[in-house]
Amino acid sequence: MPNFVLSPVGTISNGTLLITIEMEKRILGNSGLEVSALGLGCMGLTFGYGPATDEKEAIELIRNAYDLGVTFFDTAEAYSQGGNEILLGKAVKSFRDKVVIATKFGFLDGDSTKGLDSSPARIRKVVENSLKFLQTDYIDLFYQHRVDPNIAIEEVAGTVKDLIAEGKVKHFGLSEASAESIRKAHAVQPVAALQSEYSLFFREPEQVILPTLEELGIGFVPFSPLGKGFLTGAINENTTFDKTDFRNIVPRFSEENRKANQTLVDLLKAIAAEKEATPAQIALAWLLAQKTFIAPIPGTTKLHRLQENVGGASVILTKADLEKIESAASKITIQGERYPQHLQNRVGK
């Protein structure tokens, strides 16, 4: 069965047929929340990967994503302290009811450099800010950005449960949480989705997290599904990043480790050549093939990369393809930690 359905949606003055692409849809666990198989991570448009994208270009990119079948958009208060949400709100305003918006709370003053704050008062403040910034009456998926060791996860879940009862939030999510925290939160308010890093470049979730999510009926939304761009094949040991790009402080992206980790990119390139695809498309297709409740959210600032990523949803990997990738990948040891220590201390809590 093809993953794409072409649907004529109207005509323009010269008689040319307008076509929209309907991407495969997925349900996040038992929540009933339906999303496009691939979403769009919006963080990089304003935060984390160098200078912010021009607003007009960023809005155009988001709208192009929607035209290509993407209905799942991810943002957070901490991405430019609301600036990213404002951008997304402007971009999707005309089709708000046709998309799923996910945003996040959990940092002091919405600033990821200041530490964590998931106090009930802060959560409520973030909700009101996000509703205003996003120009919406409800948030489809509201994640705790990182587990706050100073606030019981049950209290966090209870606060979001109240917001759901009030109609301000539809679904509750966690990000980079441990299996223990997931279970505790889920017992108070069902968790619709966990957002954490997962890709061929970082497979740790396979050990405990994925089995836990499957058991509890929770969806999985992998961020950095292309290894922060590394799996596209566009980065090598000679690549230089903008001074504000956070990959400069990521051990896995040291010059030495980038050189060592090219082995994985070479594997993807070989598979891609056989499938008439790109390394990025193979990496995304591999993720989609792992579980039916997985919906990755690759981010980009470039239209051609967006189009390439969306194409990954229509690449079908056979059982033989997956076995070949697994066999080859099992012989590769990725070099370098995925976070510097101060950021690593915030995950898996």
Report the pLDDT value the prediction gives residue 9, as an integer from 0 to 100: 35
CATH label, 22-344, candidates 2.40.37.10, 1.10.940.10, 3.20.20.100, 3.20.20.140: 3.20.20.100
On whether the CB atoms of residues 46 and 80 are closer than 8 A, the answer is yes
Does this model's pTM top 0.85? My answer is yes
Q: Got the DSSP string for 148-188? A: -TTS-HHHHHHHHHHHHHTTSEEEEEEES--HHHHHHHHHH
Q: Are strands 34-36 and 40-41 parallel, antiparallel or unpaired?
A: unpaired
Separation of alpha carbons 120 and 162, rounded Å: 10
Tokens for 62, please give them.
């988001």
Contacts of 336 (CB under 8 A, 6+ apart): 250, 251, 252, 253, 254, 257, 260, 261
Residue 282 backbone zone (phi > 0: left; psi -120 to 50: alpha; other: beta): alpha
> Using one digit for the tens of pLDDT, what is the confidence trace for 20-65?
567 999 999 999 999 999 999 999 999 988 889 999 999 999 999 9
Place 153 in a pLDDT band, splitting at 50, 70 and 90: very high
pLDDT above 90 for 343: no
Report the pLDDT value the prediction gives residue 26, as an integer from 0 to 100: 97
> Using one digit for the tens of pLDDT, what is the confidence trace for 163-206?
999 999 999 999 999 999 999 999 999 999 999 999 999 999 99
Per the annotation, the verdict on 143 as an active-site residue is no
Place 340 in a pLDDT band, splitting at 50, 70 and 90: confident
The candidate with the shortest Cα–Cα distance to 125, out of 147, 145, 101, 109, is: 109
**From 79, 138, 143, 339, active-site residue:** 79
Q: Where are the domains of the chain?
A: 22-344
> Using one digit for the tens of pLDDT, what is the confidence trace for 69-90?
999 999 999 999 999 999 999 9
Q: Are strands 169-175 and 191-197 parallel, antiparallel or unpaired?
A: parallel
Report the pLDDT value the prediction gives residue 20, as an integer from 0 to 100: 52
How many C-beta neighbours within 10 Å does residue 1 have?
5
pLDDT above 60 for 16: no
Report the pLDDT value the prediction gives residue 263, as an integer from 0 to 100: 93
Work out the average pLDDT over 108-125. Answer: 95
> Using one digit for the tens of pLDDT, what is the confidence trace for 297-320?
999 999 999 999 999 999 999 999
Report the pLDDT value the prediction gives residue 10, as an integer from 0 to 100: 34
pLDDT above 90 for 342: no
